[in-house]
Every structure is written in C-alpha cells, then in structure tokens.
Structure 1
C-alpha cells in the first residue's frame, strides 16, 4: 500500500495539517496515531487527534494516549498562545465526534503491537515532544529492527522558538529528545525550524485549501490564532506548517534534502536547555553527538503543492 506509518502527535494546528496529510494519502498505510502532551494537555491532544481522523473519514485508525508530562521535569509552559486554548484556535468543538473508541492500551503498548504485527519496517513520525518515543525505545529495544526510520519535527540549527536557542518539541522534554536523537541507533531524520519556516504558506495557499472541500475548509478554520502569531513572525499573512513538512518526508523519502551531521541535545538546566547542537564543521575535532540526517532544503513550491494536493483530496 505504500509507506507504513505511525504518527505520534500533540495537535496543534500544524499537527492537524500533518495528520490530515497522512490520512488522505492513498500511498500511506496509517497504522495508528499516538498522542502526547505538548501544545495543549494530553486529554485535549487525544480528543483532537481522534476527531481529526473522523473528519478525514478514517475511523479505522486506532488512537492511544501516551505521556501526560515529560520524563523527568514538568514542562514550564504550553503553546496555547500560538495554537489557541484547545490547540485548534478554539474551534476544536467544530470537529465531528469520533466514532472509534480510544484504545484501552497506552501509546507505547499500541506502537509495540503495531510494530510487531507489521510485515515490513514502519516509519514513525513524532511531531510533538519525544516522550513516548523515548519510552518505547527504552522499554522495548526488540522493536528497533521493525522501525525503518524516525522522521521527527523538532530542533533548530540557528535559533529556537520556545527559547532563543530551543525549538518547542525538543524543549518540552529534552531528556527524551536526547534519548531518541543522541543515545539510540535507530535511523533518524530531524526536520528543524530552519527549514519548516522556509516552507511557510501564504494567504493565497490557505484560500485554495479552504475552497478544496470540507476537510480543507475545516483545516483552514483552525488557523485564526495561528495566523495572528505568524503574522508577527513572518511579516505577512501566512502560517508555518512545521509538522506537515516532516510527515511529507515520511510519506515520500527524499522530498527534503538532508545532510548528515553530528547532533547533540542539551538536557542540562540553564538557558540552553533543549538546544539541538548541529555540528556542521567539515572535519569535527571530536565527537559531538550522533550522526543524524538533518533536513536542510527542499523544492519549496513543490513541497507546498504536494501538501496542498493531498489535503485537497488529490491523492
């Protein structure tokens, strides 16, 4: 059927775009969706994920709830000022109620069962804090061979958004991020802010999305608070669809151009906590982290068209 995919998410406006992108792509076998705290609390991210799948007419996809807090330290703040009080600009209630019950098992247990049952390696796309993925790799090392690669949205090369140097998903649980990105050996692609910001879409793109049908109209309807934030960041009417960029690469490997660099994650207390250190030196003098594929470029208009066509139902 195509790419076998598990999405781990904290919806979130950009998460909503990413979930719909996978759910509406015929070349994706969306095995399951797991939820994590992040943009809003776990109960809300879980409800949003289930209802988004219902919007996309995908009640066949199981959803399981995962971590409600980081591995070690409680998070300091959420992203509700960016995504709105419910993660979807206060409009999550407009989504249809989910017909499929929430799985009785937790997120890690669902991932283990899906990985063990898969007849080929599975791509995991974590687009929220990495708490669930760290727990999976720590508690179930035997499933590593069933993971094709981890394509995560997170990190930054130059500057952050949660702090001056840290991107939100990594900053929300740096200990988990370090466990996944630095200390494990599962192939990993990091899609950082530096690239996702360049993939921003403007008002004309959003208008095309809204005119594409009920799903596109609903997705566009979640953007008012997000637009208000990115109007200040970008200087024009548009949004950054961070997580959809990572899921696009998960669906179509090679859509993003990557470079392999040593990457480290600062999990120490202090002003650089959550920083991803990407060593771009031609000849590093000493090991500074694990070698990770870092997405650095893409054909921007092609990426935007790929996402729009899928969200609009052109699979």
Structure 2
C-alpha cells in the first residue's frame, strides 16, 4: 500500500471528486475521513462523505464528524455554489452508507489513526481548517506522525468568497493561521491561482460520465456547480479545487511548489481570511516577517493533472 491518508472535508462537489479519487486509488491507504462545516452545515457534509464512500464501495473507511462552526467567530454563511445539499441537490441519488458514523469526533479519530500508524500519515484538509487546528493545538504529540499537510485553500492574487479571501480560509481564518503560519508541520498550500488553471471541460466530464457507475454518479452531482462555473470560466466546465490537492497528496511532486512566507489576515476588515503570500525575493528569510515558510503550489502539467484524475476515476470499478 502506498500513501497513508486522512481526508478532512466538507462535501461539496469538488470534495466528492477528491474523496472518490483517493477511495478508488490502489496506491492509497485511506485511513479515515473527517468532516467539518463549510460548503453546507456539518450534518450534510457528514452524510455526503459517508454516501460518497459507499458509492466507491469503501465501507471499510471510518467517518467522524468534527467542527460545526469556526474556532472563534461564528459564521452563518455557507457556500451557494454547490446547491442546497452540497451536491447540486442530488445527494439522495447516492447510496445510503452501511457503516455507522464513528462515535468519536473528528479530532479523536485523527489522533487514534495517527497513533496506530506504523509510518507518517498525510492529512489532506479540503475544507475549513478548524479540525486540523484543533488537532495540532490539543495533541502536539502526534505532530511527528504527520508526514505533511496538503491543503486546498487560499489565493495569491485574489479570493472567491470575497475579493481578498478564498472560501476555506475565510470560513475560519484563526484556524487557518494556526495551521499555515504558526505550527511546524510540513505544509503544502494549493491555492485558487493553480486550481482554476486545472479546470476541466464538458468533454472531460463526458468521458467520466460514460466510464461506469462511479463516474456517472459523480457527473450527476455537478449541475449546480457547472452552472456556477459556466459563468466564471465562460465555457461548460468545472474547477476541481479539492481533487487537485488530493492528487498531490497521493502523488507527491505532481504539483510544482515554491517556498514562501505565508500569513493569514484574521482582522475584522474587508481582507479577513486573505492569505498573505510574500513573493518578494529579499524576504525569503524566515525571520524577515511574520509567517513561516511553507510550500505553495504554483504550477503543474495541466493536461497531465487532468489525465491523472480522469484515469483514476475511469479505472474505478
């Protein structure tokens, strides 16, 4: 078995693609999935994650529910991009999960999985970072069991939920600051700037839909998401944000990264949730400004990335 992986998620259409990518990959040991509020409330994200694993015939993977709100400031605003239930109103089309929800919470499950692992584990947070921040704060002893954190979030040039902030970071900036700027676990940030360039078109989606039951079911979850991105992209296509990060978690080096100081704006102003990625060459010194040095994904072989994801999902049976 290859990469040992825990996914922390708020499904979400792009989360659905990411979960399926990991669940069907033979070189991934998917230890567990934890859920967090985000695209829709926690009860929906948890139900969606469980149904998606059932779709992929992975009832062996435990699911635990985590944070229902941010660490500090309550945020009542959910994303509207993914439809009323996070999956374009079609969550009910997925099979009911046969495995019960874990009795322990998300942090508890992550701790038990990390402590039981005989080698370091990659964590892929693809929603707000509340659960991961709580893990690092409350259980510092597990840091050595984390190989790296590969997260989807942030933006260097702009945001999407606001002009400055990307949704996952904006949803809990204090948690994001803890993970990105204040801890010492190796971290890869996969920002909007790259994920938008990895968008897939209708031909890609048609190949997925015709590939078999899993591909057909995933494509069926996209109508609301597709309608949103038709306006954003100017053509029929979607942005697989979270699947890009999970692809890197599975296959290290698939994305090209550069190392920068990163900080997160936790103020109450209009830039709240902005990821401050300082690309000034003179400041590539850890002591030059607040914010530790982390890896930021800046490029990839775009066609190769699309083919990697499609091939994995098409080959799923």
For the superposition of Structure 1 and Structure 2, which TM-score range results when normalised by the shorter chain? over 0.9
Q: Counterpart in 1 of 2:271?
A: 272
Check the 8 A contact 2:214/2:316 in 1, yes or no. Answer: no
Which contiguous aligned blocks of 4+ residues in structure 1 show a shift greater than 3 angstroms?
none
Check the 8 A contact 2:257/2:297 in 1, yes or no. Answer: yes
The reply to whether residue 153 of structure 1 matches residue 149 of structure 2 is: no
Q: Which whole-Å CA distance do the structure 1 matches of 2:73 and 2:316 have between them? A: 43
Check the 8 A contact 1:34/1:64 in 2, yes or no. Answer: yes
Q: Counterpart in 2 of 1:12?
A: 12
Number of aligned residue pairs: 314
The reply to whether residue 70 of structure 1 matches residue 70 of structure 2 is: yes
Q: Counterpart in 2 of 1:295?
A: 297
Matches within 5 A, 1:1-315: 1-79=1-79, 81-284=80-283, 286-313=288-315
1:258-278 Cα shifts (integer Å, max 9, x gaps): 000000000111100000000
1:43-88 Cα shifts (integer Å, max 9, x gaps): 0000000000000000000000000000001114111x21000000
Q: Which whole-Å CA distance do the structure 2 matches of 1:180 and 1:218 have between them? A: 34
Q: Which whole-Å CA distance do the structure 1 matches of 2:292 and 2:86 have between them? A: 33
Instruction: Please state whether the residue corresponding to 2:315 is helix, strand or coil.
Output: coil
Instruction: Please state whether the residue corresponding to 1:96 is helix, strand or coil.
Output: coil
Shift of 1:288: 3.6
Unpaired runs of 5+ residues, structure 2, are none
1:130-168 Cα shifts (integer Å, max 9, x gaps): 000000000000000000000000000000001001000
Q: Which whole-Å CA distance do the structure 2 matches of 1:172 and 1:314 have between them? A: 33
Shift of 1:312: 1.2
1:76-120 Cα shifts (integer Å, max 9, x gaps): 4111x2100000000000010000000000000000000000000
CA-atom RMSD, angstroms?
0.9
1:272-312 Cα shifts (integer Å, max 9, x gaps): 00000000011118324110100000000000000001111
Check the 8 A contact 2:39/2:86 in 1, yes or no. Answer: yes
Q: Which moved more, 1:15-24 or 1:279-288?
A: 279-288
Check the 8 A contact 2:173/2:272 in 1, yes or no. Answer: yes
TM-score, structure 1 as length reference: 0.99
Check the 8 A contact 2:263/2:292 in 1, yes or no. Answer: yes
Check the 8 A contact 1:248/1:307 in 2, yes or no. Answer: yes
Shift of 1:198: 0.1
Check the 8 A contact 1:72/1:175 in 2, yes or no. Answer: yes
Instruction: Please state whether the residue corresponding to 2:281 is helix, strand or coil.
Output: coil
Unpaired runs of 5+ residues, structure 1, are none
Shift of 1:314: 5.6
Q: Which whole-Å CA distance do the structure 2 matches of 1:216 and 1:17 have between them? A: 9
TM-score, structure 2 as length reference: 0.98
Check the 8 A contact 1:279/1:288 in 2, yes or no. Answer: no
